[in-house]
Amino acid sequence: MSKIKICGLRSPDDIRYANELKPDYIGFVFARGRTRYVSISEAALLRSLLSPAIPAVGVFVNEPLEQVAELLKKGVIQMAQLHGNEDAAYTEALKEMTGAPILKAFTVRSKDDLKAAFSYPCDYPLLDNGKGTGKVFDWSLLGKSAPKPYFLAGGLTVENAPDACRRFAPYAVDVSSGVETDGRKDYTKMKAFIQAVRSLDSNE
């Protein structure tokens, strides 16, 4: 069964929803200028309210290495998700400094993009249509099997996520705008998304 990450949490209500619905991961966006941006102090407060059983993933764009490592070492986040131009040396250094799992986001337009994603030295490639476009990429590029586990993102909703899990069995599906109403996390949509993905296991 694919795991579930709900990204872009930014309020105590969002955390309350997560604690009740128990996604496998949640995400805090530290990239300035993004709609769902949270400051370090805000994220620390939200992490303190979040169930210890749910790992928090920090989303970064070209953030100084030491800053990301500090958030991991302090336990504000348990995983790092890189969305910028971070090269292999950056990722390897972060891994050596913290031992934490690393995700690296890739925009998928071709088979070559997939090859680059799976050869990059991260724990999990995150395959996306772009940076927060809310649209799916061409899933026909994916095969049933992959060289390493990956997170599938971009345009996922309660309607299409079960199909993606059934067809491609990604390690995890990553949703943000697909569980929002008017730019805010929607409890009903979060619950429906999680139930739809997890019901696959009981139906098979």
pLDDT digits (tens, 9 = 90+) for 98-121: 999 999 999 999 999 999 999 999
Structural domain includes residue 204: no
Please state the length of the chain: 204
Structural domain includes residue 45: yes
pLDDT digits (tens, 9 = 90+) for 16-52: 999 999 999 999 999 999 999 999 999 999 999 999 9
Q: HSE on the CB side for 110, CA within 13 Å?
A: 3
pLDDT of residue 198 exceeding 80, the answer is: yes
**Residue 130: which domain range?**
3-199
- Kindly state the tokens that stand for 101: 């799992």
pLDDT of residue 133 exceeding 80, the answer is: no
Q: How many domains is the chain partitioned into structurally? A: 1
Structural domain includes residue 95: yes
139/155 Cα distance (integer angstroms) = 11
Structural domain includes residue 24: yes
pLDDT value, residue 143: 80
Measured in Å, how far apart are the chain's first and last C-alpha atoms?
Answer: 10
CATH label of the domain that carries residue 79: 3.20.20.70
- Kindly state the tokens that stand for 133: 């476009």
Residue 27 parent element (H or E): strand 25-29
DSSP per-residue string spanning 98-138: H---EEEEEE-SSHHHHHHHHHSSSSEEEEESSSS------
Q: How confident is the model at residue 88 (pLDDT cuts 50, 70, 90)?
A: very high
Structural domain includes residue 76: yes
Q: HSE on the CB side for 99, CA within 13 Å?
A: 3
* For residues 74-98, average pLDDT: 97
pLDDT of residue 193 exceeding 80, the answer is: yes
* For residues 63-70, average pLDDT: 97
pLDDT value, residue 134: 63
Pseudo-torsion of CA 17, 23, 24, 28, nearest 10°?
Answer: -50
pLDDT of residue 6 exceeding 60, the answer is: yes
